[in-house]
Chains A and B, each alone.
Chain A
Amino acid sequence: MSFPLERTQVDGDGWRRAFEQTLEAGGRLGALWGSDERDRAGGFAVHALLVVHERLRWISLPVADSYPDVSHVFPAAGRMQRAIADLLGLRAGEDGRGWLRHGAWRPDSHPLRKDVASEADLPEGDPRYDFVRVEGEGVHEIPVGPVHAGIIEPGHFRFSVVGERVLRLEQRLGYTHKGIEKRFEALSVEEGVRLAGRISGDSTVAFAWAYTMALERASGAEPTARGVWLRALLLERERIANHLGDLGSLGNDGGLAFGLAQFSRLKEDLLRTNRRLFGHRYLMDRVVPGGVAADLDKGGVDTILREVARLEEELVALRAIYYDHPGLQDRCINCGRLSAQQAGQLGVVGLAARASGHAIDARVFPGLPPYDVLQPKLCAHRNGDVASRIVVRYEELFESLELQRRIVRDLPAGMVRAPVPQASDGRFGIGWVEGWRGEVFVMLEAGPDGRIRRCHPHDPSWQNWPALEYAVLGNIVPDFPLINKSFNLSYSGADL
């Protein structure tokens, strides 16, 4: 149950060099976060997870108040650095605008510092924000949000357009920032899994698994084999539920309401099966330290096999309708294109990366148990448009259905859950799970008495939001909902 993790402390030059070497080796930025170490090392630190193929490198840099900017190497680092500045007051780069802060606290308050109490009510700051202005004849701005027209999470999009064509999109996120990282520090490591499962409601299995993986590594425990296989079953069911939901919405946004009606029916059927077999429609709180809090009997296996066969039949029919529908194809092909080169430069991950020709899938590289045995197929496309992201979702649906079939056939016998000893003070671990949207990381460090000293959860939306700003360029405003839905990024997961 292991992946190669190399942890090193670096200096400022080493920090910058490590990023550059990662880029040269074709690697990517996994996560970037800060910590308050004043009670032991006398200062602060920033940390990065760098991923090259299936190797993980964790570098840490001691920091007094500022550190080298690496957003020229990996552009997605820019927002992560701004979040660190808001939460801990450690600065990098020239963009001094708050990212998570808005007006809820002032630039000189740093809520994630250890000397700020968890229930502190900080004085309000100035909520104004300087968007980048595009100037020229006929250019005007369309501000959208934070309250959107549909049933979706809040965020602000500022379009600069000429006629209907988008010249620039600037996102402003952070509206759902609710202090998750600070909240973790008021919990025990066992209680933390419940919060991890509520970082992004549509990815509860992915985050809970990444959290428990980090915890198990910190305490030197192993989950049971049956528990790990059942986690994979739940993770694939989460992937299926989200892909079904998004394929329906994509049909709807493309003018095919039939698609929404059919796919939302299939998704509801799946959620009801979840409720019946595992006790929760979205599988919240089913992944627990040491394994899972659910089991599958013979009847459950039969239910899943029947459901897999029925879904395969329905999906073949629906795929043929989607692929044959001229109106839908017209909306999707060449719409919201993210080229392989752009995706690489922006460090895009997950299904968006795979639809732009990048072979990134943590189920394959490194392929942690049980995926080392299951050997899932990596589904990819090279066009990087909305249509490619639809193709990848269909392919992944069929693959996840097949994986379910293999999981219930070869499910190891035994206990679903093993005891996990308390992680001692200072022990740490990393969890790495390919959720439906992309790779999720959780970094966990235990404190004294089984408390959480620091927990940083990382959603792939951090890397993919900036890519959406590029994918929409040159497209028309009415195509934005379709392009946006084809990525379907998380607000809550990255706002924390």
Chain B
Amino acid sequence: MHKLLRRIVRVGIPTERPPKPDPALRTAAPRFGERILELLGRALAIRHVDAGSCNGCELEIHALNNPYYNLEGLGIKFVASPRHADLLLVTGPVSRNMEEALRRTYEAMPEPKLVVAVGDCGCTGGIFGESYASRGAVANVIPVDAAVPGCPPEPAAIMQTILTAVTNGRRSSPALR
């Protein structure tokens, strides 16, 4: 036990400052008023769905919970059920085999709900495009509020996009106040 505690003390707290929201990451005008976003932004519950990605974006979403980004420290946490979620984080070109599951996950979420598409594939279909097996961009299947390009986008960029989605044209997110 002393080894474990010593390691914790030696490492300290490496958490870095989170990025500021950037309205350019929005793909649609804010659908909800200041008051609702204010509430969501203070304790945001995220449900993630891999709708057909290569798993690259998942690695970076995982990284959001490492001690450097410490997303949970901002009151933002990942939840196991869409029924508990305020925001849906979707990766991948939407495969035909995941289309129904993605739609049902979205429908299972209570209103008000937000959607963030992650990565080049989530934004446009990426290198996989649209085909017999792929619907391409997430926006082809469900409405998207903000989207972050990149292959994969780095954790700070994903974090910034999540913070943008809960910000209504303000320069800082409720989570940062």
State the A residues within 8 Å of B (CB).
100, 102-105, 109, 111, 116, 118-122, 127, 146-147, 149-154, 174-180, 182-183, 194-195, 198-202, 204, 245, 258, 261-262, 264-265, 267-268, 271, 281-282, 284, 317-318, 320-321, 324, 490-492
User: Given contacts A153-B50, A177-B96, A261-B66, could you give 13 more A-B pairs where the C-beta distance is less than 8 Å?
Assistant: A104-B97, A104-B133, A119-B131, A147-B101, A176-B95, A176-B98, A177-B95, A178-B128, A198-B56, A201-B57, A262-B7, A265-B66, A492-B52
Q: Are A183 and B98 in contact (CB under 8 A)?
A: no
Is residue B112 contacting chain A, with contact meaning CB distance below 8 A?
Answer: no
Q: Are A202 and B55 in contact (CB under 8 A)?
A: yes
Across the two chains, which residue of chain A brings its CB closest to B128? A178
Q: Given that A176-B53, A491-B55 are known contacts, is A151 also in contact with B48, CB under 8 Å in the complex?
A: yes
Q: Are B133 and A179 in contact (CB under 8 A)?
A: yes
A-B contact pairs, 9 of them (CB 8 A): A109-B132, A151-B61, A152-B58, A176-B98, A178-B134, A198-B54, A245-B59, A264-B63, A321-B7
Q: Are B8 and A258 in contact (CB under 8 A)?
A: yes
Most buried by B among A103, A119, A179, A271: A179
Is residue B22 contacting chain A, with contact meaning CB distance below 8 A?
Answer: no
Q: Are B97 and A118 in contact (CB under 8 A)?
A: no
Is residue B4 contacting chain A, with contact meaning CB distance below 8 A?
Answer: yes
Smallest beta-carbon distance A124→chain B, Å? 8
10 A-B pairs closest in CB distance: A201-B56, A104-B96, A179-B133, A264-B66, A149-B80, A201-B54, A201-B55, A102-B97, A179-B131, A178-B134
B-chain residues with CB within 8 Å of residue A261 when the two chains form the complex: 66-67
Q: Are B66 and A178 in contact (CB under 8 A)?
A: no
A-chain residues with CB within 8 Å of residue B78 when the two chains form the complex: 150-151
B-chain residues with CB within 8 Å of residue A271 when the two chains form the complex: 63
Is residue B62 contacting chain A, with contact meaning CB distance below 8 A?
Answer: yes
Q: Given that A152-B58, A201-B55, A265-B14 are known contacts, is A111 also in contact with B97, CB under 8 Å in the complex?
A: no
Q: Are A127 and B100 in contact (CB under 8 A)?
A: yes
Smallest beta-carbon distance B159→chain A, Å? 13
B-chain residues with CB within 8 Å of residue A320 when the two chains form the complex: 3
A-chain residues with CB within 8 Å of residue B128 when the two chains form the complex: 178-180, 183, 198
Q: Given that A111-B133, A177-B133 are known contacts, is A153 also in contact with B55, CB under 8 Å in the complex?
A: yes
Q: Given that A119-B131, A147-B49, A151-B58 are known contacts, is A268 also in contact with B97, CB under 8 Å in the complex?
A: no
Q: Are A265 and B53 in contact (CB under 8 A)?
A: no
Alpha-carbon distance A9/B11, docked complex (angstroms): 60
Give the A-B pair count, Cβ closer than 8 A: 163
B-chain residues with CB within 8 Å of residue A194 when the two chains form the complex: 127
Q: Are B132 and A154 in contact (CB under 8 A)?
A: no
Most buried by A among B50, B60, B62, B133: B133
Alpha-carbon distance A324/B128, docked complex (angstroms): 46
B-chain residues with CB within 8 Å of residue A119 when the two chains form the complex: 129-132
Across the two chains, which residue of chain A brings its CB closest to B131? A179
A-chain residues with CB within 8 Å of residue B127 when the two chains form the complex: 183, 194-195, 198
Is residue B105 contacting chain A, with contact meaning CB distance below 8 A?
Answer: yes
Across the two chains, which residue of chain A brings its CB closest to B78? A151
Across the two chains, which residue of chain A brings its CB closest to B89? A151
Q: Are A201 and B92 in contact (CB under 8 A)?
A: no
A-chain residues with CB within 8 Å of residue B93 when the two chains form the complex: 178
Is residue B41 contacting chain A, with contact meaning CB distance below 8 A?
Answer: no
Smallest beta-carbon distance B166→chain A, Å? 19
Q: Are A200 and B132 in contact (CB under 8 A)?
A: no
Q: Are A154 and B54 in contact (CB under 8 A)?
A: no
B-chain residues with CB within 8 Å of residue A109 when the two chains form the complex: 132
Q: Are A146 and B132 in contact (CB under 8 A)?
A: no
- Residues facing A in B92-120 (CB within 8 A) are 92-93, 95-98, 100-101, 105
Alpha-carbon distance A317/B9, docked complex (angstroms): 14
Q: Are B80 and A174 in contact (CB under 8 A)?
A: no
Is residue B176 contacting chain A, with contact meaning CB distance below 8 A?
Answer: no
Please tell me which one of the listed residues B8, B67, B105, B151 contacts residue A264 in the complex, with CB atoms under 8 A apart: B67
Smallest beta-carbon distance A87→chain B, Å? 10
Q: Give B25-65 as 1s and 0s: 1 = Cβ < 8 Å from A's Cβ atoms.
A: 00000000000000000000000111111111111111101
Smallest beta-carbon distance A457→chain B, Å? 12
B-chain residues with CB within 8 Å of residue A154 when the two chains form the complex: 49-52, 98, 101
Smallest beta-carbon distance A8→chain B, Å? 33
Alpha-carbon distance A491/B98, docked complex (angstroms): 13
Most buried by A among B4, B54, B100, B154: B54
B-chain residues with CB within 8 Å of residue A195 when the two chains form the complex: 127
Q: Given that A178-B93, A262-B11, A492-B53 are known contacts, is A183 also in contact with B63, CB under 8 Å in the complex?
A: no
Smallest beta-carbon distance A105→chain B, Å? 6
Is residue B152 contacting chain A, with contact meaning CB distance below 8 A?
Answer: yes
Smallest beta-carbon distance A118→chain B, Å? 6
Smallest beta-carbon distance A477→chain B, Å? 15
Alpha-carbon distance A320/B6, docked complex (angstroms): 13
Across the two chains, which residue of chain A brings its CB closest to B60? A281
Alpha-carbon distance A90/B61, docked complex (angstroms): 39
Across the two chains, which residue of chain B brings its CB closest to A264? B66
Q: Are A201 and B80 in contact (CB under 8 A)?
A: no
Alpha-carbon distance A199/B78, docked complex (angstroms): 26
Alpha-carbon distance A426/B124, docked complex (angstroms): 33
Q: Are A178 and B133 in contact (CB under 8 A)?
A: yes
A-chain residues with CB within 8 Å of residue B154 when the two chains form the complex: 281
Q: Are B58 and A153 in contact (CB under 8 A)?
A: yes
Please tell me which one of the listed residues A175, A183, A317, A492 contacts residue B55 in the complex, with CB atoms under 8 A apart: A492
A-chain residues with CB within 8 Å of residue B131 when the two chains form the complex: 118-120, 178-179, 182-183
B-chain residues with CB within 8 Å of residue A281 when the two chains form the complex: 60, 154
B-chain residues with CB within 8 Å of residue A492 when the two chains form the complex: 52-55
Q: Are A284 and B151 in contact (CB under 8 A)?
A: yes
